Chain A
Amino acid sequence: MTTPAPGLASTSERRLILAHVWVVVLSFGVAAGMAMMQALSRANLELPYRSARMYYMSVTGHGVLMALVFTTFFIMGIGYVIAQKETGFIRWRKFAWAMFWLAVLGTALAGWAIFTFRASVLYTFYPPLQAHPAFYIGLTLVVVGSWGWAANMIVSWRAARRTSQERPVSLAMHATTVNALLWCLATLGVASEMLFLLIPWSLGWVETVDPLLARTLFWYFGHPLVYFWLLPAYTIWYTVLPREAGGKLFSEPLGRMVFILFLILSTPVGFHHQFQDPGISANWKMLHTMLTMAVTFPSLVTAFTVCASLEVAGRLRGGTGLFGWIRRLPWGEPFVAACLLAMLLFLVGGFGGAVNAAYALNSVVHNTAWIQGHFHLTVGSATALTFMGACYWLVPKLTGRELELRLLAQVQPYLWFGGMVLFSFTNHVTGLMGLPRRLFETGYADAAQAQTWESLTSVSALGGILLFVSAGFFMLVMLGTLLAGPRKEQPAIVWAEPLAEPAGGFRNGLWDRLGLWFAVAVLLVVLAYAIPLWDMLSMTRYGSPGFKPF
C-alpha cells in the first residue's frame, strides 16, 4: 500500500480523487493527439489518412475532450480535495463514485459517437447539424454526473458552515461552492437544450428543432461554462500559489467578493456570443454587452491580488527593487512556473476577450481564427496550464510518490508558453485578416485575400507542435508519477495564509451569504433572458430537420 498522504486521510478517498485524475490525464492525452493532427493539417502537410472528414472529426474530439471532459473531471477532483480538507471527509462517497462512473459512461458514449464519425458536429453542436443520439445522451450524462458533484460541494459547504458559525469557511471551499452553484445555474441551459430539443430530435421523436432557440440555450450555458473552467484556476492562484511561491495571500476578503461577482455576472451575458445572430433585438444584445464588460471588474481585482501576493513572496525570498521580486520567484518549480506563465498568457487573453464582447468590434472577429486564438489563451492556458501545474502539486500528495521526471515537469510549462505564443498570436493576426475558424484548408482556391494568411498558418502549426511536445512531457510525468514515482512522504495540503488577519479574526460577512447571492444571480438571469426568450418563443417559427453532412 502507498504511504498515507497526510491531509487526505483515507485510501478510499484518495482512490476516488485519483480516479478523476486518471480521466483527466487520459482525456488530455487523446485530445492533445487530435490537436497535433489539426496543426499538421493546418500546415498543409500531406499526411496519411489526412482528409476533411478526419479533420472535422478530430476538431470535435479535441473540443469535447479538452473543454468538457478534461476540465470537468479535474474540477470535480479538486473539489473533492477541497471538501475533504475542509470537513475532514468526503460525503456520500458511494454516490460520488456512482456519479463518477456515470460521467465516465457518458464520456465513453459520446467518444464512441465521435470517433466512429457519427458526431462531427464540433463541441458547440449547433443544430440542424445532427449527431448520433449517443453523442447528446453521453454529454448529458457527463453533466448529470457533475450535478452529483455540485450537490456534494453544496452539502459539504453547509456542513463546514454549521461547525463554525462565526468564522467563514476557507476561501478554497467558498470558491468551489460558488463554482458548483454557478454550474447548476449554467447547466439549466444546456440540459434544456439536450432534453427538450436535441435528444428527442436525434431519436426521431420530433421532426424538427429551432436552430436559434438551440443556440440561445447553448450560449446561456456556454459563457458561464468558461467561468466554470476559470474559477478553479483562480481558486488555485488565490489559495495555493501564494504559499507555494513562498508568500501570503494579499487580501482574503476581496477574494470572497471576486468569486461572488463571478457567480452573479457570468450567466446573463450569453448574447455576446450571438451578436451576429438574427432573431435577437439589438437592445438585448446591448444589455448583455454591458453585463459582460462588468465581469472585467472581478478579473482585474484578481490580477491585483494575485500579483500583490506574488510580490510578497518575491520580497520574502529576498527580492528588492521595483521588479527584483519577480526574478526571485521560484520559476523552476513546475507548479509555480505553470501558474505564472498561465497568468501571463491570460493577461493577453483577457484583453482579447474585451474585444470579443465589444458590441461593435465583434463584427470584425466573430467566428474568425481570432476566436480560437483567444480561447487557447483562456481555457487553453489560464485554465489548462494551471490545471497541469496543479497536477504536479496534487498528484504526489494523492499517491505518496515523488514527482517522476521532474526535469520534464520543469520544462513543460515553458514549452506550453512558447507554443501558445506562436499558435495563439498568429491566430489573432490571421483572424483580423479575416481567416474563418475551424477550416480544414485555408487556401480558398488561391483567392488573393487567402494568400495573405498562408505563411502565418504555418507558424501557428509550429506552435501546435511545441504544444504537443509539452503535452507529451505532461503525460510522461503524470504516468511516470502515478505508476512509478519513488514513494516518499509528502507535505500536507495547506492553504495560503492571509497576509493580515483583521482584529478579532475573520467573521462571516456579506460575501459569505451564498444563498442570497445565488438568488441575485437567478434574478439577473431572469432579467437578461426572460423577455428575449419569450419573444423568441412567441414568433411564428419554422423548425429544421436534421442534416449530417459529415
Chain B
Amino acid sequence: MKVDIYERVWMWGVAVVLAVFFISTAVAAYGRQFHPPSHIETIDPRTALTDPRMAPQGVSVDADGRVHVRVVGVTFAWLPAEATVPAGTPITFHLTAADVVHGYQIVGTNGQAMAIPGYISQFTTQFMTPGEYLIACNEYCGVGHHMMAGKLIVVPQEDWEPPTASQSPALETEEVAG
C-alpha cells in the first residue's frame, strides 16, 4: 500500500505517542503499584450490614495498627455518614452496597470505588491535607441520588484518636437503616 510521505511520518509520530502512553501507564501501575480498586470478594447483600467483614461500619484499627474504614451504601445514605481518619496515613476502605449500586467518591481526591451489592470493593489511599471532604454518591441510585452524601474528616495524625470498640458506630447504623 502506497502511503504519502507526510502521512507516513504522522503515523510514526502517532506510534511514538502511543508507545509513551503504554510505557508511562505500565510504569505507574507496576513500578509505583498504582492500580484502580480491583479487589475480588463476594458477600451476600442481604446480610451486608451485619456480615463480620463489613460490621461494624466505620473506622477501626487492626492488630497491625492499620486503619480501616468500612462503609455500606444504602438508598440514600452512606453508613456511616461520617468518618474521622488521620492525615498522612494509609487508610484502607472496604465498601459494599446493601441494595442498588452506589459510587463512593471522596470529592477532591482520587479516592473512589463502586459499591456493588454482592461484592466488596477495597482501596487504600492517604490524605495529605487535613480538612473536611464531601463524600458523594457518583452512581445513580434512585430519586434521592443527589442527597446521598457523607463526610470524611481528616485530622492531623497527632490529633487523631483510634476509635474504641464501644464507640463502634454499629448502633447508629441500625437507626439510619431502619
Contact = CB atoms under 8 A, between A and B. Distances in A.
B29 interface: yes
A520 B44 CA distance: 39
A205 interface: no
Interface in A305-341: 305, 308
A278 B119 contact: yes
Interface string B34-45: 111111111111
A33 interface: no
Contacts of A368: 105, 138
B117 interface: yes
Contacts of B143: 52-53, 56, 120, 549-550
Contacts of B111: 363
A278 B3 contact: no
A210 interface: yes
B50 interface: no
A215 B112 CA distance: 18
Interface string B125-154: 000000011101111111111110101000
Interface residues of A, number: 77
A436 B137 contact: yes
A226 B36 CA distance: 23
Q: Which of B1, B38, B44 has the most CB of A within 10 A?
A: B38
B103 to A, nearest CB: 5
A276 B29 contact: no
B117 A211 contact: yes
B54 interface: no
A251 B14 contact: no
26 contacts: A56-B142, A120-B142, A120-B143, A129-B142, A211-B119, A251-B3, A278-B38, A278-B113, A285-B36, A285-B38, A296-B14, A297-B14, A360-B28, A433-B107, A433-B108, A438-B140, A441-B147, A442-B146, A445-B147, A447-B134, A535-B40, A539-B42, A542-B42, A542-B43, A549-B75, A549-B144
Interface of A: 52-53, 56, 59, 120, 122, 126, 128-129, 210-212, 215, 250-251, 253-254, 257, 275-282, 285-286, 289-290, 293-294, 296-297, 300-301, 304-305, 308, 354, 358-360, 362-364, 366-368, 433-442, 444-445, 447-450, 502, 509, 535, 539-544, 547, 549-550
Given A304-B6, A366-B112, 16 more contacts: A126-B101, A211-B119, A278-B116, A278-B121, A300-B14, A367-B103, A438-B140, A440-B146, A441-B146, A444-B136, A445-B147, A445-B149, A447-B151, A540-B42, A547-B75, A549-B142
Interface of B: 1-4, 6-7, 10-11, 14-15, 17-18, 21-22, 25-26, 28-29, 34-46, 75-76, 99-101, 103, 105, 107-108, 110-114, 116-122, 132-134, 136-147, 149, 151
